[in-house]
Amino acid sequence: MVKSLPPRSEIASEETWNLESLFASSEEFDQALATLEQDSAAFEEKYKGQASDPASVIALLQAYMKLAEQMVPVSTYSNLALSTDQTNDEAQMRASKFSSASAKISSRLSFVTSELLALPTETLEKAMEESEEFHVYLEKLIRKKQYQLHPEVEKTLAAYSSTFNAPYSLYNTTKMVDMSFDDFEVNGKSYPLSYVSFEGDWEAEPDTELRRAAFAAFSEKLKEYQHTTAKTYDTHLQTEKTTSDLRGYETVFDYLLFDQEVDRSLYNRQIDLITTELAPHMRKYAKLLQKVHGLDKMTFADLKISLDPSYDPEITVEESKKYIDEALEIMGDDYLEMVDRSYSERWIDFAQNKGKSTGAFCSSPHGYHPYILISWTGRMNEVFVLAHELGHAGHFYNANRAQNVFNARPSMYFIEAPSTMNEMLMANHLLKNSDDPKFKRWVIASIVSRTYYHNFVTHLLEGAYQRKVYERIDAGQSVNANVLNSIKRGVLEDFWGDAVEITPGAELTWMRQPHYYMGLYPYTYSAGLTISTQVSKRILNEGQPAVDEWLEVLRAGGTKSPVELAKMAGVDITTEQPLRDTISYIGELIDELVSLTEEIEGQ
């Protein structure tokens, strides 16, 4: 039964992560931030106006890289301490203090990019030849040359960076601090509700009356904040559009895709093909859920239920480690050592408490170990979530050791491939270990409902919705709650057709996703999963050679484009074939669920 969330102060330390590898105390953090401010001032004084030839460019970048490394633990500590309890005054003030200091530092350091791009391209290319360490950094910098503004404008824009980030902070404050859910009632009995309990428990509640009542109560609370949240989002969108125009990008899409290192054809293909070709398969899955659960009708509030709730066993944190170790064993001893350390050294925050960020994420600070946030509900599907986040951890555990702080992070387009790869490895491992039709159906249903529904449907439909929003913004228009609700409802209705009733409240799901404040992020989940689906098949069929190639891809970090990284792993994403193969694979899984259900019911 879902319980009310306790305050952070009541959580046992073993359920929380240990941030002491970053800083042992707040005082240590304050000192590091003060030192960073002093060092950035000294850096500006020493290096501003000095870059003129390849040797001085390399000297500038070596000193600049040291400052970037210094920034990592300060930034990470500030963000992570707030993410576990956004109601904590001290954490709020620390995050604000860092944000303000970071804006000043960014403004102070903006001369680096401006001065380097003011040099002849030949000078930068010569520096690239003389320093392998900064080759990729300078190559990416040269790409930006045509979009660079006057040095004083760049300095001013950097000084406003914390202001430009304010909409995301406001969104989180509204969602995690101001929004307080009342209990809801069913048949005279009261049940507690929160963001975490709704997304972690109530959405998947087998009791239809309880589940639909929780959805209605949750939606009613979201509705109270829709206008403020929409205004916050519109402010973010207008800032992106203004920046895009100022820098001379043709469209806001070109601006947002620039750092992803992919063109609009890859972006549009991912959205267009999935919304048209995956829809029939997912409608079949929705009808199967309706039939198995004996529902009068299939509504949006019913889409997250398990095909067989009796086969969704409870699992402890300790038990999860055994599953994960066995599933990821194929990745090798070094990878497994990282997994073991993540448990024993408290890299993972498992707790459920008031004020904690929703969902799950992995933060991988360069020079330090990764940190994972998850709200452990005890459901078996959490093993897939944890495997996913450990995929991010394993990616950067490898990339951060092999690459410098400038080169470790790949394009956002590729970022979800290593995470979804681990979900596929988990599924393959579970399928290998049982011939029982009910268990097999549960595993395949988990792949469909957790891995593919989450990444290929939930996030992809967010991407389709987001594209329509940006088309309005690009045309010089704005958005409000009514517009956003209308767009979201339209996207959901187009995809689900008459298989699912889009009940009131479904249109408000745009309010639940922080990814909208991170550029064109949502569609990249399906892009990453397209790659990982193909590579996981290779690992299943070819074994060690495919694993070795994948580990090489992880170590490459951001030194290659998404197309090059996928090619290293044997996948050609310049064609439609990998995506079509993946959609076809999802269809096969759903067909297998239908036949397994018929077999089970016929026994």
Confidence of residue 3 (pLDDT cuts 50, 70, 90): low
Distance of alpha carbon 42 from the chain centroid: 36
**Residue 501: φ, ψ to 5°:** -85, 120
pLDDT, tens digit, 9 for 90 and up, residues 351-398: 999 889 888 999 999 999 999 999 998 888 889 999 999 999 999 999
Instruction: Report d(CA 518, CA 413) in Å as an integer.
Output: 12
pLDDT, tens digit, 9 for 90 and up, residues 198-234: 988 899 899 999 999 999 999 999 999 999 999 999 9
Mean pLDDT of 179-207: 91
Mean pLDDT of 174-184: 90
The amino acid present at 39, given as its one-letter code, is D
Q: At what angle do helices 459-474 and 481-496 cross, to 10 degrees?
A: 130
Cα→Cα distances 223→166, 286, 505, Å: 22, 26, 8
Q: What is the pLDDT of residue 576?
A: 94
Q: What is the pLDDT of residue 410?
A: 95
Indicate whether 1 pLDDT > 60.
no
Mean pLDDT of the chain: 93
- Listed residue (401, 380, 426) closest to 555, CA to CA: 401
Q: What percent of the chain is predicted at pLDDT more than 70? A: 99
Q: What is the pLDDT of residue 531?
A: 94
DSSP 8-state assignment for residue 498: G
Confidence of residue 578 (pLDDT cuts 50, 70, 90): very high
pLDDT, tens digit, 9 for 90 and up, residues 505-545: 999 999 998 889 999 999 998 999 999 999 999 998 999 99
Three-state SS for 110? Answer: coil
Q: What is the pLDDT of residue 2?
A: 57
Instruction: Report d(CA 417, CA 535) in Å as an integer.
Output: 9
Confidence of residue 435 (pLDDT cuts 50, 70, 90): confident
Indicate whether 121 pLDDT > 90.
yes
Tokens 């000095």 label which residue?
50
**Helix, strand and coil percent figures for the chain, each rounded to 5:** 70, 5, 25
Instruction: Report d(CA 85, CA 137) in Å as an integer.
Output: 36
pLDDT, tens digit, 9 for 90 and up, residues 300-320: 999 999 898 877 778 899 999
Instruction: Report d(CA 365, CA 345) in Å as an integer.
Output: 16
Q: What is the pLDDT of residue 201?
A: 86
Cα→Cα distances 76→29, 69, 519, Å: 11, 11, 20
* 8-151 CATH: 1.20.140.70
pLDDT, tens digit, 9 for 90 and up, residues 227-253: 999 999 999 999 999 999 999 999 999
Which residue would you say has higher pLDDT here, 404 or 176? 404
Neighbours of 42 (CB within 10 A): 12
Highest mean pLDDT among 164-178, 194-208, 438-452, 566-580: 566-580
Instruction: Report d(CA 112, CA 89) in Å as an integer.
Output: 35
Q: What percent of the chain is predicted at pLDDT more than 90? A: 84
Mean pLDDT of 268-282: 95
Q: Indicate the domain borders of the chain.
A: 8-151
Burial class (CB in 10 A: 0-12, 13-18, 19+), 92: middle
- Listed residue (361, 371, 386, 374) closest to 73, CA to CA: 371
